Amino acid sequence: MEQNLRQFYFFSDFLNRKVYSPSGKRAGKVADLVAERIEPYPMILGMVIQTKGRKKFFLPWERMLQVEPRIILSEEDLLDLTTFLAAKDVVLLRDEVMDKQIVDTYGAKVVRVNDLHFLRVESRLRLVHVDVGFRGLMRRVGWERATDRVLEWLFSYKLPNQFISWKYVQLLSGSDLLHLSVSQKKLSHLHPADLADIIEDLSGRERSAIFHALDPETAAETLEEIDPKIQKALIETTPLEKASDIVEEMSPSDAADLLGDLSEERAEEILEGMEQERAEDVRELLVHPDESAGGLMTTAYLSLTPDITVEAAISRLKSEAPNLDIIDYIYVVDEEEALQGVISIRDLLTAHSQQPLSEIQTPRVVSVKLDEDQNEVVDAFAKYGFRALPVLDDENRLRGVISFRSVLDVLAPDAG
């Protein structure tokens, strides 16, 4: 059944929408959504439909021919709501969740549920977040676009979503409150790490369905946050062309880690589908053992020659920043790629615009060798407190840079 579903929905997208029969006759409007009471992310079983006579019936999800651009039933008859509710363990989202207060573990009031956020998994929707932000309230009353325009015009500001993952929320029977099983600090915007959590929590089939529906950029950002074992399983089941597009969007170091876990044949097929320059960067990283400095480094950094001015360097940094893993430092190299010095972003921004980099660079640079053991790399970070360290070959040529995040992965590989 082709329902023409979008990837994401909010509860406010459904509430009070008109529902039509196959003949085009209006059958009623959506009064509520019914979710199965399962963990961690409840599945939407159907809708409560209110007719003109204000009677309420149940519309199973399977009986919908179409959701967009209008909701159309596959049959004229609706089910008796009372009979359905008596036979199932379900949650009426409008009655039991919307507008309820969320309290933390100490019983202090946090915020009200202003909207609910759903994610399409195959042909069904799952409840994945509650929206407790002001944007959710504006969306609910139909003022979201107007609010966006006003804030953009006055302050160049876009009002963010403010989500709490549903797995942290518990329903309290006989109460007008919900219980938040983590501290208030867990309030967050939807982030690739949150999407990664959802994917990891679901079964293999549903996990693949979500991942394969993502665009390459979102998939790449999400994949970087996922457990390596699940990373491997997802990319192995992804069609080759899309797999290449996804890996191409990843950080070179993360891409190399992922491809290193695949078979040589599969890894090479993915590399063949990538842009040549990007593929060569990843291939260079693949030749180094995981436990060495070369295995920890990335090639996505900015290196410039000493004669370039501060103004030109800032311009280059702005244009290349979206593709860089290292933006804390600029590395100064000669024509042979030999490392001459390093410049912090702070020093770059406070220098005179026409100064050449040679005048503001720090010539004494702490670095590590390609084959240096990862434990020695960790010791260097701990001793000097840098946010990144350059990696040199035996000829003192810059081959890559290790980020502090890579060191954290060594110290706490299971921390995520």
Residues 6 or more apart whose Cβ sits within 8 Å of residue 297 = 253, 285, 288, 391, 399, 400, 401, 402, 406
Helix (H) or strand (E) holding 358: helix 357-360
pLDDT grade, residue 107 (50/70/90)? low
CATH topology assigned to domain 203-287: MgtE N-terminal fold (1.25.60)
∠ CA(317), CA(320), CA(324), 5° rounding?
100
pLDDT at residue 265, as a whole number: 92
| Residue ranges of the chain assigned to CATH 1.25.60.10 | 203-287
Residue pair 234/226 in contact (Cβ under 8 Å)? The answer is yes
Tokens read off for 158: 């876009």
pLDDT at residue 251, as a whole number: 87
Which of 107, 112, 108 lies closest to 131 in space, CA to CA?
112
For residue 195, give Cα distances in angstroms to 46, 166, 311: 24, 12, 39
Plot region of 117 (φ>0 → left; ψ -120 to 50 → alpha; else → beta): beta
**Average pLDDT rounded to a whole number, residues 344-372:** 92
Question: At residue 146, what are phi and psi to the nearest 5 degrees?
Answer: -65, -40
Chain-wide mean pLDDT for the chain? 86
pLDDT above 70: residue 295: yes
**Average pLDDT rounded to a whole number, residues 261-265:** 91
Give me the sign of the Cα torsion angle 216, 217, 219, 225.
Answer: positive
> Distance (Å, rounded) from C-alpha 409 to C-alpha 120?
32
Cis-peptide into 252, omega within 30 deg:
no
pLDDT at residue 368, as a whole number: 92
Q: Hey, how many other C-beta atoms are within 10 angstroms of the C-beta on 397?
A: 15
pLDDT above 90: residue 172: no
Which of 240, 189, 190, 200 lies closest to 223 in space, CA to CA?
200
pLDDT grade, residue 414 (50/70/90)? low
Residue pair 61/35 in contact (Cβ under 8 Å)? The answer is no
51 or 101, greater pLDDT: 51
> Distance (Å, rounded) from C-alpha 365 to C-alpha 346?
16
**Average pLDDT rounded to a whole number, residues 380-398:** 90
> Distance (Å, rounded) from C-alpha 405 to C-alpha 328?
13
**Average pLDDT rounded to a whole number, residues 172-182:** 64
Looking at the chain, the whole-number percentage of residues with pLDDT higher than 90 is: 39
Cis-peptide into 69, omega within 30 deg:
yes
Question: At residue 92, what are phi and psi to the nearest 5 degrees?
Answer: -85, 110
Domain covering 303-411 in this structure, CATH number: 3.10.580.10
63 or 109, greater pLDDT: 63
| pLDDT tens string 56-99 | 999 999 888 888 888 988 876 788 888 888 878 888 999 889 98
> Distance (Å, rounded) from C-alpha 284 to C-alpha 286?
6
| pLDDT tens string 128-153 | 999 988 888 899 888 888 888 888 88
**Average pLDDT rounded to a whole number, residues 267-288:** 90
Tokens read off for 313: 């360097």
Q: What is the pTM of this model?
A: 0.55
> Distance (Å, rounded) from C-alpha 372 to C-alpha 294?
8
Q: DSSP string of 93-118?
A: HHHHTTTPEEE-TT--EEEE--EEEE
pLDDT at residue 127, as a whole number: 93
| pLDDT tens string 117-127 | 999 888 889 99
pLDDT grade, residue 284 (50/70/90)? confident
pLDDT grade, residue 215 (50/70/90)? confident
pLDDT at residue 183, as a whole number: 53
pLDDT at residue 50, as a whole number: 92
Q: Hey, how many other C-beta atoms are within 10 angstroms of the C-beta on 349?
A: 10
pLDDT at residue 14, as a whole number: 94
pLDDT at residue 176, as a whole number: 65
| Residue ranges of the chain assigned to CATH 3.10.580.10 | 303-411
Q: What is the DSSP letter of 226?
A: S
pLDDT above 70: residue 391: yes
Please tell me the least confidently modeled range out of 109-118, 179-188, 233-242, 286-295.
Answer: 179-188
> Distance (Å, rounded) from C-alpha 172 to C-alpha 105?
13
**Average pLDDT rounded to a whole number, residues 35-43:** 88
Give me the sign of the Cα torsion angle 184, 188, 193, 194.
Answer: positive
pLDDT at residue 10, as a whole number: 95
pLDDT grade, residue 39 (50/70/90)? confident
Residue pair 339/367 in contact (Cβ under 8 Å)? The answer is yes
> Distance (Å, rounded) from C-alpha 66 to C-alpha 257?
42
pLDDT at residue 111, as a whole number: 75
